[in-house]
Amino acid sequence: MFKKILSSTIFVLIILLTSNNYAETVTKANPAYLKMYMNNIVGGKDAYRNYRNIAELNRVAAWIKGQMKQFGIECSYQNYSVDRQTYRNVVCPLNLNQTKKIIVGAHYDVFGEQDGADDNASGVAGVLETARLMAQNKNQLKYNIEFVFYTLEEPPYFRTEHMGSYIHAKSVEKSKHEIFGVYILEMIGYYSERDIQTYPTGLGLFYPSHGDFIAAISNYSSRSLSANFCHQMSSLDKLQCERLIAPSFIEGVDFSDHGNYWKYDIPAIMITDTAFFRNPHYHLKTDQMSQLNFIKMADVVDGLVRSMVNQK
């Protein structure tokens, strides 16, 4: 009898340990994967991925499409024309036959001639790793997910109708009642415990002076998305999360792809290390992978994954 009880106990322990290890595998972002993705994104040797170098933009878009296919997610190109040139978003639906969907996106182009490691290869890598984990955890999801990789976020097309995110937001406007919310990853890799953080006028009185946190930026109608994200980050107890709920006239609040969804009254937030308010390498050649913290990037992805899995 004792042997049977002991055998049964060992069997249950093995199942529990296996289950826990499996859960750790599929629910935790991997910093090494994030680094691998970024190596491929910034790896072009002959040109930088700006609006002038369409071949390089297309290389990155094709690589993203191939990487997503390895996760079991098929993508298509959303092509559009600007100045007689063709540019493309990469749109990758994870259709789970739910009634509503969440959009997760990041832009893959850069400003000028630079690697654009934080801006915005870090965001693209974050979306890719989120997609990998969501594909593994899809049975836990209450929403369809559409992963979108945008082109032409940077100048000279910034804040114009030629932005990839504007093209995408416009394309989903008629079905916006099906969209629960949009998460935009815009620079998620630069952190510092030093007092280097700056803010738009007046906000420094209410937020940390150190640069060791992730921020969730929303307007009023998107506030529940940012609340859930920071709640999930707090539950991880690794990287501090700060929320800002503000109208778009506050400097920097709409300085990314989420702003184009706001134009169509679609709830959207920006998840960011605060860009030029923190990172001294913003839009410079020194914006390189060596400046980034991949462990904290993984923490951000874990918070985003939890947000979607636990979204009400």
Q: Is the pLDDT of residue 6 over 60?
A: no
Domain residue ranges in the chain: 30-309
Q: Is the pLDDT of residue 99 over 90?
A: yes
pLDDT tens sequence across 106-117? 999 999 999 999
Q: What are the tens digits of pLDDT across the range 18-27? A: 333 333 434 6
* Integer angstrom CA distances of residue 65 from 57, 69, 145, 222: 12, 6, 16, 29
Q: Has residue 87 got a pLDDT over 80?
A: yes
CA nearest neighbour of 184 among 63, 272, 246: 272
Task: Give the pLDDT of residue 224.
Answer: 96
Contact between residue 167 and residue 182 where contact means Cβ atoms under 8 Å apart: no
Cis peptide before 156 (omega within 30 of 0): yes
Quick one: pLDDT band at residue 13, thresholds 50, 70, 90?
very low
Pick the CATH number of 30-309 from 3.30.70.360, 3.40.50.2300, 3.40.630.10, 3.40.50.720: 3.40.630.10
How are beta strands 179-186 and 268-272 bridged, if at all?
A: parallel
Note the pLDDT tens digit of each residue in 195-248: 999 998 888 889 999 999 999 999 999 999 999 999 999 999 999 999 999 887
Between CA 170 and CA 173 the distance in angstroms is 5
The pLDDT score that the predictor gives to residue 10 is: 38
pLDDT at 140 over 80: yes
Mean pLDDT, all residues of the chain: 90
> Two tokens at 103?
């959009």
Helix or strand holding residue 165 (H, E): helix 164-172
